[in-house]
Chains A and B, each alone.
Chain A
């Protein structure tokens, strides 16, 4: 925010009313198209592809599925194929070829209950190593899948038998900066955040933010863990500095109470990892900027490195709707272009200006 003129503006480019409940919307990489996932009132799932053309969204394709689709990702596919991986209400993980209708190219009964969240890495040139998909479900498990391996996950994080299963609301990949290292972060309904190290197959860190974790995201999946944002049910979000882990204190964080309602989504700008947008339950969007402290770590009294969190500044906010905004996605190709969907059965394409000047 160097000057008031340089302040980014959130502009509603256009909106499209839909005849179904939309749960997720995603840009198709390397295109001006986006996918909307949801469920019809009749209980079936739907996937629609829209193209941005002449200031409005042109429906290109619509496919109906037997089960409502909760979430999707392009994270584990190549730029050439651009297959979307989806999770549905029945606990299935499907990978679809958008070009060719028909049965999914990959399908697995991943969970016993609804797949709440999905994320992919290793595709699109983002993240070294194998393409992998992680799913988090109400059944309390977090599973990592390799599209080349049918039927069984490559890693499975499940609660111990006999303990109450917590609803996993969100999953995210991170730390995939080389072939071996990779982390999965999962957030649960009781406020637990767990960081699984897929290399060591162990829990590397966990914490509790007291309220249900609605969304977690690393600022970048394919770098040495840098920052993690976790949003919560009561309208707070926490930014963890993931560079310095203290053996007992873990990662330092800064938290901000921003929305007066649940923060449903957080998404980092693909072109600048220090800018992110949060989407709230009251239909509002907040654009934030993280500022690093002068020194990102210090040594504490025991001579251990401990991280130092920076600060967040609100760059802009805007109210779009009275209903929660359930999904949000930045275009990976065009800086400032983003799509969001809300429970008022609307999908909106937004333009955020002057992001490069922040």
Chain B
């Protein structure tokens, strides 16, 4: 087999080599044909086979064709002459269908024809609006030999003239002709582009009904064709023509689609609306309108339309796709939400704790009657379990179980959350504490105020000691409620969960009563109680009471989500849709992700539109604006494509955008301050920024920069830490922490931070340099515990301000400034370092730095240092530095430098290439130098030296 393969591949090679040659007989073979990939060669084989020269092999031909079809379905070989099909070649059904259609058409056309004839009999008006006859008989001669533009004169003059003709040549006449020709050329070169002259209206006033219909259809067909050719402008024009003859749904619909393709959203919208006026519920129009809405960023309306479509045609793939797309876009439009929370389960009375024991406890709850212990109450709530133990009620079971019970913390504000979390995490501690307390036998007695309430309960309580089973902790702390009331509430929760709503109602009522009686001022808890009772009322079908309770709860704590939602549901059930709508909307302002509210809003919107028409919004009561504070516990929506759109979103978005805008403004101000060097002010701005958005990494790093500048390294380090908490791989944060660490003289931490920076991005040169330095410092400090940094160093000036995107310019500015550092501080030890220092100084035009550098260089070594790096700019720069700074201080040094400078490599070459300006500097220097009186050199020496330079 392998042999065969090899052979065939060999053959392949050979055949491709001599493609033009004859087909060898051995290629007329199934195996060969199967392996052959060369369409042309196969074609040849096929021809040989068909010719019958090598014998006739019908099956092989067929095989060859089928193989060829696989390789090249468009091959000419496959085009066979087919006899015309007849009625017999179709199935009976198909044929009868065709015949029926034909028959129908025949009848229809007969009718149209007769009506046309009748019309023409009455209507003797010959089309009066016909355009006039083309201007009289104009003939234009043609020549067979192209050159179309000179038709009129071509016959004689395009041919080369013979001598006799030249004799008669009339220059002026010829010139005229040429001029004429030019004009003509211009005229005929006009190539009509586009179709600006296409009329979008057709005068159909003279036409009969039949004609109009035909014409409208015809124009529409032209539109369709243009549409198919992706010529949407033209398509729109033809649809418009069709519509001007006779408005039809299809033409409007098609024009809408063409306009969508052209992105003429408003026109498309108008057309869709017209279709829907003519034919309400037209699926295509709805779908197209949804598309338009989608593009006009009106996602709510888009979703609404799409839902109508999907309701009618659940299988509509386009609608489904568009819907998910719209949802996605809508979500993208929402500003990102930082805070995270738990999902609210609307139908539940409260949130379920994450406790593992929960399920188990619940199961036990249902299995056994409630078994309350006898709390004394009044203690600090966290100590409540301890109290119970203290009471000696023979309940020495571990609390872990009981703690898992449904202690309520149904307030979903931050406050509530934190407390609940604290509560559950403290579980163990509390238990230990309680044990200690039991051992010590010391405990605080509760306030007596709660005792009566407690006693009112006692009748129901089963004797405690007799039960060996594990109990549910009903004394779980509940906000600021005293234990008896908390207990009542927990009992209520439990009963609610078990479905005993009226019993739960009673418990809650008692708790509320207890609260008011004892004068406890805890609106939060009272709000929860009311809210829970409202839930009970709602479950019992008592919507009125439910609404009352919710309203009370909301009076205590406005914009509390659960009472609002419950009230909305109650209103909804009472069919007071407007109020329900308002409540739902408010809920959505607080938390956009409440699915039930979203759904209900959509549902109610439709109901209201049906009821009140388009102006339904005007009849709505005002929707209260939820303050920003109440919105903070919104969280990211779960990534579900099914989440439905709510209109409240817009208000929410506005508020959020405002916050966003303020944040950006603050940040910008901060950045500006940094640029100006007002770090204190910048600090303030950034701090404000962080109040708005505590999760913004860039702000932390920017503030860290400010702190660094102000040499408040500890704070800088803290900010970097915070930034790294948000974004654990932030390079800048690492770099700045390194600097802060360096400032704090924690070289070890510094070097590890720098290493981290370099690990992330090996190209950060500053970090590399810094690392080198720090490593040296580290070594030093290790060697000499007392050692201070060898040289007093400036803190590294980093002047960049972090923008939204990491600018590449940042690195540049940093490096250039670092360059300055080097110039002033570094004592170059080799040509490379010297060159760098010099370059840095030159780049920043810092002649003083250069002068310093030169001053610290011994003139004899100057040529070495400069080595091959000398160029015109450098010389000029050195001259300037010498002239402006060194000359005054130490003319001798200047002289010595100059004396050595000209010995540098390539000096003469560079000298030749000096520019005028640079020469001027040099002359100036020498003039100044010659004016100086010195013991070391005379004017003559200067003159001699100058000759070498100038």
Contacts and interface: CB of A to CB of B under 8 A. Distances in A.
A62 interface: no
B816 interface: no
Contacts of B139: 153, 155-158
Contact of A224 (B123, B155, B195): B195
Interface in A5-44: 9-13, 30-32
A128 B132 contact: no
A177 B195 contact: yes
Interface in A258-283: 270-274
Contacts of B148: 194, 202-206
A144 B194 CA distance: 26
B678 to A, nearest CB: 54
A34 B151 CA distance: 41
B278 interface: no
B199 interface: yes
B225 A12 contact: no
Interface stretch (A84-92, A111-119, A178-186, A230-238): A178-186
A252 B727 CA distance: 59
A144 B116 contact: no
Interface in A85-111: 99
A210 interface: no
Nearest to A130: B131
A272 B105 CA distance: 19
B140 interface: yes
B144 interface: yes
A350 interface: yes
A281 B594 CA distance: 74
B199 A128 contact: yes
Contacts of A222: 222
Nearest to A350: B84
B208 interface: yes
Q: Give the interface residue-count category, chain B.
A: 35 or more
Interface stretch (B213-221, B390-398, B656-664): B213-221
A206 B83 CA distance: 38
Given A154-B135, A156-B138, A317 B79 contact: yes
B632 to A, nearest CB: 52
Contacts of B132: 130
A128 B194 CA distance: 17
A155 B215 contact: no
A334 interface: yes
A233 to B, nearest CB: 17
B193 to A, nearest CB: 8
B884 interface: no
Interface string B515-540: 00000000000000000000000000
Nearest to B144: A163
B212 to A, nearest CB: 9
B461 interface: no
Given A11-B87, A202-B140, A292 B229 contact: yes
Contacts of A146: 133-134
Contacts, number: 214
A53 interface: yes
A194 B141 CA distance: 12
A149 interface: yes
A351 B102 contact: yes
Contacts of B110: 31-32
A80 B85 contact: no
A346 interface: no
A177 B130 contact: no
A12 B189 CA distance: 47
Interface string A211-233: 00000000010111010000000
Given A224-B234, A272-B225, A201 B131 contact: no
A247 B112 CA distance: 47
A155 B102 contact: no
A318 to B, nearest CB: 4
A80 B215 CA distance: 13
Interface in A129-155: 129-132, 144, 146, 148-149, 152-155
A226 B192 CA distance: 12
A154 B142 contact: no
B226 A177 contact: no
B876 interface: no
Interface string B122-161: 0100010011111111111111101011010011000000
B134 A52 contact: no
A197 interface: yes
A197 B192 CA distance: 11
A3 interface: no
A152 B123 CA distance: 29
B142 A152 contact: no
Interface in A165-212: 166, 177-181, 190, 192, 194, 196-198, 200-206
Contacts of B143: 159-160, 163
B234 A223 contact: yes
A333 B105 contact: yes
11 contacts: A11-B89, A12-B86, A125-B211, A130-B130, A130-B134, A131-B130, A154-B134, A178-B197, A320-B84, A333-B105, A334-B102
Interface of B: 74, 76, 79, 81-87, 89-90, 94, 98-99, 102, 105-106, 109-110, 112-113, 116-117, 119-120, 123, 127, 130-144, 146, 148-149, 151, 154-155, 184, 187-195, 197-199, 207-208, 210-211, 214-215, 218, 221-222, 225-226, 228-230, 234, 238
Given A80-B116, A146-B133, 6 more contacts: A31-B109, A130-B130, A153-B139, A274-B229, A296-B229, A314-B79
Q: Which 6 A-B pairs have the closest CB atoms?
A: A156-B139, A203-B148, A80-B120, A318-B84, A154-B134, A152-B137
